[in-house]
Amino acid sequence: MLIADKEMMADGLISTPITSVIPNTTRPIEPILDEHFCKLILYLEFPNTRIHIWDLIILVPNFLFLLFLMLRFNRARLKLRATSSPIFLTFYGLVVMSVIISIVRCAVSMTVNASVVVGSTTDKVLWITVRFFLLAMEISVVVFGLACGHLDSRSSIRHVLLATSFISLAFSISQGYLEMFAPDVSFHIDSRNYDLFGHGGMLFWFISSIVFTVVYLIILILPWTRLRERLTLPIKPSFYLYILFLVLLNLAQSVGSGLFFYGLDEGLCVVDVTTCIYFTLLTPLVYHTFLSEFFGVSQPSIMFSYKAQVDDTMEDDTVSLPHQQSFSSLKTDSDYIYQNNSVYDSTQFDNGTTPINPLYAASLQSPDSITGYSIDSAQSVEVGQGYQQPYGAPPYVHQ
């Protein structure tokens, strides 16, 4: 049949192009096999659908992580209600928002037609939006740990989020401008006549990746410099493993984008791998590094700050840092994230000079661990801690 059609076309009897033999489609046969695999994977679709394989690769891990968060939501809600600090709620909110935005981007990309202008623009805007939230979350945990990890108040967290949002916004605006008005020709698909999302182009990605690599590398080596005596650096190994992950990831991105910019197709393969890792593993990594230990604690009490936090006042600027006073006099939830390697009992002062009301101490425990609390247990705690009973009350006799 195809040979006869070719002969008839040669005789001028048929003027229409040969269409695909795939049922229910009228698209012309496209030379996708001539494309490099690492470029083909970015726009290849399942037959008879608009579902891109690349979107599905990113969607599945994010969807599974969202299911994990939903299954543990009840426990997370109780833990967040039991702590007085907003830092855990901030990190948890950033994680949930980032994974939801990523899932929404994949779902919308599977429904719009990227070959039309509106669909292509929508897809690029969603990519840039996801990148904005991930970058804000990525930098927030670093900035909070280095700049004000011990100013555990709503105003300090708001200032950190505002600063990181400005950095991420500047990055996203630059990336968006390049995507819309100066797209990288390497990401143009001739057979479909539209541009893939090129992350601002290989030159932009190469320069920005080098900048982030240098910044994170400096943070990684800070504990081995003289600046460690002037700065209050985090001491938890997990924080520096997180920084090491960002160093290696950005270094690989700079190598891949640089190779592809200079015409080596293998560089695009490196870029694809690092992109997949960033958009699927960064959010679970932040959760595992900074939140999993907190949500996994069923006993003892949730951490509370002994320093009274007063927002929107000058008191936030006068908080003493640990190099001015010992950790025993300032234990906050940010210490738990960035400093301590184990859970500390916030109901006990290290010097033991100030008694703690046992009812107040019990109220600091997580809601799912105090159901068996009774007055008798409170009295036993009072005697055990040497708590002075009110004048005239009958003495407690241990049986």
**Over residues 356-378, mean pLDDT:** 47
| pTM greater than the 0.85 cutoff | no
> Can you tell me the distance from the alpha carbon of 147 to that of 141, in angstroms, rounded to the nearest whole number?
10
Together in a domain, 255 and 366: no
Percent of the chain exceeding pLDDT 90 equals: 35
What is the pLDDT at residue 21? 39
One DSSP character per residue, 242-289 reads: HHHHHHHHHHHHHHHHHHHHTT-THHHHHHHHHHHHHHHHHHHHHHHH
Residue 22 lies in a domain: no
Q: Are residues 229 and 364 in the same domain?
A: no
Task: Give domain status of residue 341, yes or no.
Answer: no
323: Cβ–Cβ under 8 A, 6 or more apart, which residues? 232
pLDDT band at 115 (very low <50, low <70, confident <90, very high): low
**Are 283 and 369 contained in the same domain?**
no
Tell me, yes or no, whether 93 and 223 share the same domain.
yes
Of the chain, the percentage scoring pLDDT greater than 70 comes to 63
In tens, the pLDDT along 26-66 reads 433 333 334 778 888 998 888 888 788 999 999 999 999 99
Task: Provide the b/e sequence for 104-123 (b: ≥16 CB within 10 Å).
Answer: ebbeebbebebeeeebbebb
Say which residue, 293 or 327, is predicted with more confidence. Answer: 293
274, 295, 316 — which closes off a domain?
Answer: 295
How many CA atoms, within 13 angstroms, populate the side-chain half-sphere of residue 163?
14
Together in a domain, 281 and 376: no
Confidence (pLDDT) at 117: 72
Query: Exposed e or buried b for every residue in 149-165, given b needs 16+ CB within 10 A?
Result: bbbbbbbbbebbbebbb
pLDDT attached to residue 158: 85
pLDDT tens-place string over residues 248-284: 999 999 999 999 998 888 899 999 999 999 999 999 9
Tens of pLDDT, residue by residue over 214-235, are 999 999 998 898 877 777 788 8
β-bridge pairing 194-195 and 188-189:
antiparallel
Residue 2 lies in a domain: no
Note whether 222 and 368 are same-domain residues: no
Q: Are 58 and 102 in contact (CB under 8 A)?
A: yes
Residue 59 within a domain: yes
Q: What is the pLDDT of residue 194?
A: 79
Statement to judge: residues 108 and 181 lie in one domain: yes
* Contact present, 286 and 319 (Cβ < 8 Å): no
Residue 189 domain-assigned?
yes
Q: Which of these three, 247, 266, 295, is where a domain ends?
A: 295
Residue-wise pLDDT tens digits, 147-177 = 655 556 778 788 888 989 999 999 999 999 9
| Residue 300 pLDDT exceeds 70 | no
Per-residue confidence band for 394, with pLDDT thresholds at 50, 70 and 90: low
pLDDT score of 93 more than 80: yes
* 168 in a structural domain: yes
Domain that holds residue 362: 355-382
The number of distinct structural domains making up the chain is: 2
| pLDDT above 60 (res 186) | yes
Region of residue 263 (left: phi > 0; alpha: psi -120 to 50; beta: else): left
> Measured between alpha carbons, how far apart are the two ends of the chain, in Å?
99
Same domain, 360 and 291: no
Q: What is the pLDDT of residue 347?
A: 33
336: pLDDT confidence band, cut at 50, 70 and 90? low
Average of pLDDT values for 312-337? 44
For the chain, give the mean pLDDT: 74
Lowest average pLDDT, out of 287-291, 323-327, 364-368, goes to 323-327
**CATH code, domain carrying 104:** 1.20.1070
Q: Are residues 155 and 78 in the same domain?
A: yes
- Structural domain includes residue 73: yes
* Cα 112–Cα 114–Cα 116 angle in degrees, nearest 5: 100
**Same domain, residue pair 139 and 250:** yes
The answer to whether residue 397 is domain-embedded is no
Report the pLDDT value the prediction gives residue 159, as an integer from 0 to 100. 84
Closest CA to 83 of 340, 339, 341, 334: 334
Same domain, 240 and 364: no
